[in-house]
Amino acid sequence: MKTLFQKIADREIPSKMVYEDDQCFAIEDINPQAPVHILVIPKRVIVRLGEVSAEDSALLGHLLVVAGQVARERGVAASGFRAVINSGADAGETVPHLHVHVVGGRALGWPPG
């Protein structure tokens, strides 16, 4: 059974796609928590960060590079942004398909949560 993000990647569910390459894609979050809230999603399913292996290193690095690129394109890199990966229910994970939240465009509080 496909994850929500696989269905989006396959264009079965509409989204506001802002980036795509052979390894990942980025979409606007449907429930943004800041003026800029983009999800960077690998095309290959990794369930969560707590389950990655050494073989995932290059892909994880690529996701962070794309997160930085998206932040620059959206104009939040200079002022600051947050890159977040939720892993597990207690962290707020709602889709079992690893993804990076790029959040910015306003001052973000600390600690999060």
Question: Any idea which residues carry the catalytic annotation?
Answer: 99
Bridge partners (DSSP) of residue 100 are: 40
Q: Of the candidates 55, 54, 58, 59, which has an alpha carbon nearest to the alpha carbon of residue 99?
A: 59
Q: How far apart are CA 59 and CA 73, in angstroms?
A: 21
89 burial via Cβ count (<10 Å: 0-12, 13-18, 19+): exposed
